[in-house]
Amino acid sequence: MFVSAYASKRRHRDRVALMPGMPFASLSQSVDATPFRGARIRMRGQLRVANRGLGQLWLRVDRGESRGFFDNMAPRPVTSSTWVAAEIVGTVDADATRIVFGVLTGAPSGRACRKVDCAIQVREGEEQILRRLSEDGLVC
């Protein structure tokens, strides 16, 4: 979490101070996985961050009370201040119940994403977009 403190009477500028802990924001959606069991799933988008922040896509396949495929880009977060393509590819488990996906951003601030979507491969070389999280851009 960030706090802004009054720093100068003459300049009227805020001062940003990082508070303990790892602040983050997440945007997510979910869909019924039943029609897509066994299919290849892909999530992709473009991310950028500022102030040494972290940007990640994440994709999870739920199997009732347990978890199937999961990737949150933890070992490979986006740290660039310019737009970078990010992608997650996996398989929807044979007993999957839900597909949950989103964008995760970590401290300190100034994260953005664009053209983020989640798609299922319906035939070789052909995909169906399940949901689009962001087309033109989203700032967290």
Q: Do the Cβ atoms of 139 and 111 come closer than 8 Å? A: yes
Question: 43's torsion region: left (phi>0), alpha (psi -120 to 50) or beta?
Answer: beta
pLDDT reported for residue 126: 82
Q: In this structure, is residue 106 part of a structural domain?
A: yes
Q: In this structure, is residue 43 part of a structural domain?
A: yes
Three-class secondary structure assignment of 52-66 = CCEEEEEEEEEECCE
pLDDT reported for residue 2: 45
Q: In this structure, is residue 109 part of a structural domain?
A: yes
Q: pTM for this one? A: 0.75
Half-sphere exposure of residue 91, counting CA atoms within 13 Å on the CB side? 4
Q: What is the pLDDT along the chain (140 residues), one digit of tens a residue?
A: 444 454 555 665 555 555 555 566 677 888 999 999 999 999 998 888 877 778 889 999 999 889 999 999 989 998 888 999 999 999 999 999 999 998 887 655 566 777 787 888 877 778 888 777 766 555 54
Q: Which two tokens stand for residue 77?
A: 């977060």
Q: In this structure, is residue 56 part of a structural domain?
A: yes
pLDDT reported for residue 72: 93
Q: Do the Cβ atoms of 1 and 112 come closer than 8 Å? A: no
- Whichever domain contains 134, its CATH number is 2.60.120.260
Q: In this structure, is residue 126 part of a structural domain?
A: yes
pLDDT reported for residue 28: 83
Q: In this structure, is residue 103 part of a structural domain?
A: yes
Q: In this structure, is residue 12 part of a structural domain?
A: no
With a CB cutoff of 8 Å and minimum separation 6, the contacts of 102 are 26, 27, 28, 29, 57, 58, 133
Q: How many domains does the chain have?
A: 1
pLDDT reported for residue 3: 46
pLDDT reported for residue 62: 96
Boundaries of domain holding 109: 22-139
**Amino acid making up residue 34:** T
